[in-house]
């Protein structure tokens, strides 16, 4: 009986922490972004564990959406599902924006650390996670004439995510409105440069690999002759 009581107390305590950290605080940030992200930074309310959970949740929901979105709104072929690719589609942009924003804001006297930028972006995924889940459920009940509700749900999630990231950057870096907009444009430019360099490096690697592989084949064929 005592063990059962202790178990219930631990379960209640765990549930209370879960609701506070994974639901109430992200909702507070979404409704009061400046105050929320100020608490996020000043009071160290952010948690890396919560950030990772949000990213994992979005990856899982995207994989489920690929397979189980209603047929009227789903043009995917289940044979094309690649879980690794789905992970990369979510994680790579987050890392890219984090690094790009840190690089730009470091030069522009930004106060945010790379860890804080990463967690800010991860927390901003909160509305997108909910909208993706709701849209997935709705897609299996809506008819062709109601597809607009499905699109609206996803669009609202994307809008709120962008809204949170925008105010998050203002708060994290302690910028004004104009400077924040300029650094966002700089972040997009830096991200484009990084993508270009990565693609250039990948192409160069393929060419070098192709050259050495050709040389290897030539030597191997000559030995066989």
- Residue 104 contacts residue 32 (beta carbons within 8 Å): no
| Weakest-pLDDT range from 45-59, 86-100, 211-225 | 211-225
Is 78 a residue whose pLDDT tops 80? no
**Is the overall model pTM greater than 0.75, yes or no?**
yes
By the 8 A CB rule, do 121 and 98 touch? Answer: yes
Residue 79: its pLDDT value, please? 77
Q: Average of pLDDT values for 37-59?
A: 89
What confidence tier does 73 reach under pLDDT thresholds 50, 70, 90?
confident
94-121: pLDDT as tens digits: 999 999 999 999 988 888 889 999 999 9
109: alpha, beta or left? (left if phi > 0; alpha if psi -120 to 50): left
Of the given ranges (54-63, 89-98, 139-148), which has the lowest mean pLDDT? 139-148
Contact predicate 90/161, CB 8 Å: no
Question: What average pLDDT does range 86-90 have in this prediction?
Answer: 90
pLDDT tops 90 at residue 43: no
* Structure confidence at residue 224 (pLDDT): 57
Q: Where along the chain do its domains lie?
A: 47-224
Instruction: Report the percent of the chain where pLDDT is more than 70.
Output: 94
Q: How many CA atoms lie within 13 A of 100 on its CB side?
A: 21
């Amino acid at each position: 009986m005592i063990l059962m009581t202790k178990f219930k107390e631990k379960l209640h305590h765990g549930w209370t922490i879960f609701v506070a950290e994974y639901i109430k605080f992200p909702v507070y940030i979404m409704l009061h972004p400046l105050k929320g992200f100020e608490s996020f930074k000043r009071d160290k309310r952010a948690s890396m564990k919560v950030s990772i959970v949000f990213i994992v949740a979005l990856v899982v929901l995207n994989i489920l959406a690929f397979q189980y979105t209603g047929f009227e709104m789903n043009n995917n072929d289940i044979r094309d599902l690649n879980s690794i690719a789905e992970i990369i589609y979510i994680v790579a942009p987050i890392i890219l924006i984090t690094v790009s924003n840190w690089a730009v804001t470091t030069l522009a006297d930004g106060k945010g650390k790379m860890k804080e930028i990463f967690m800010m972006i991860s927390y901003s995924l909160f509305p997108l996670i909910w909208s993706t889940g709701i849209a997935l459920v709705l897609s299996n009940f809506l008819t062709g004439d109601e597809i607009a509700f499905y699109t609206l749900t996803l669009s609202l999630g994307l809008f709120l995510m962008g809204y949170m990231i925008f105010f998050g950057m203002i708060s994290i870096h302690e910028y004004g409105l104009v400077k924040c907009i300029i650094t966002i444009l700089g972040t997009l430019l830096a991200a484009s440069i990084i993508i270009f360099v990565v693609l250039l490096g990948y192409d160069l690697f393929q060419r070098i690999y192709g050259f050495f592989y050709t040389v290897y084949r030539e030597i191997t064929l000559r030995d066989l002759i």
